[in-house]
Chain A
Amino acid sequence: EPEVTQTPSHQVTQMGQEVILRCVPISNHLYFYWYRQILGQKVEFLVSFYNNEISEKSEIFDDQFSVERPDGSNFTLKIRSTKLEDSAMYFCASSESSRTGVHGYTFGSGTRLTVV
């Protein structure tokens, strides 16, 4: 069964440093997303991406964050000048359409980001 692959699985970074989280969505999917989950809290939407541009972003997704699809397979989330409160699980997801149909969204296993 097709999977969304995320790397690394765990990233530890110093406060103020930049991190790049990487994702390989399912190949025939057109919509890509980043979500995050702070320990013990809800899964929160960060950004959706379609046709090589951001289609929607949340209030969390400020100038500190950026996304890119540098080639035909990778989808990255860059966090600049990390803060302690950025520590969370970051999930990449993809879908065939924004209207999901019967297939829902496919999430990756996540990257656990720890800012120290």
Chain B
Amino acid sequence: SQKIEQNSEALNIQEGKTATLTCNYTNYSPAYLQWYRQDPGRGPVFLLLIRENEKEKRKERLKVTFDTTLKQSLFHITASQPADSATYLCSTTHGSSNTGKLIFGQGTTLQVKP
């Protein structure tokens, strides 16, 4: 079955730098990947979706890439700010499910220091 793997170690960077988070999937290439932000004690908040046939997607300071050869998606935050500190979750639908079931990675916690 499909698994989503994210680096469970926290990522600490200095304000203004670019944060890069990695998401790897283990099985078939999903039709799309989604990235969410989760703050402590809160629900995930949708950020970006990238489709299998898209190499890159941008939204303001966020950029997501999708490499089907490496089975990997990278999530970049440029000009990072302390307010970007949160846990970032990678997710996709499970198999050929048409029911909208999402599977999530463990999430990577980003800490941006001023």
Contact = CB atoms under 8 A, between A and B. Distances in A.
Interface of A: 4, 31, 33, 35, 41-45, 48, 50, 55-56, 58, 89, 91, 93, 95, 97-110, 112
Q: How large is the interface on B (under 10, 10 to 19, 20 to 34, 35 or more residues)?
A: 20 to 34
Contacts of B101: 33, 45, 48, 56, 58
Contact of A95 (B44, B98, B100, B105): B100
B103 to A, nearest CB: 7
A91 B49 CA distance: 20
B53 interface: no
Contact of B100 (A4, A41, A98): A98
A55 B92 CA distance: 17
A108 B34 CA distance: 17
B102 A110 contact: no
Given A43-B104, A100-B34, A107 B43 contact: yes
Contact of B44 (A41, A43, A44, A50): A43
Nearest to A105: B46
Given A104-B36, A105-B102, A107-B36, 11 more contacts: A35-B102, A42-B104, A48-B101, A50-B99, A93-B43, A95-B100, A99-B98, A100-B32, A101-B49, A107-B43, A107-B44
A42 B44 CA distance: 11
A112 B100 contact: no
B31 to A, nearest CB: 8
A23 B107 CA distance: 25
A56 B99 contact: yes
B106 interface: yes
B42 interface: yes
Given A42-B104, A42-B106, A104-B36, A55 B99 contact: yes
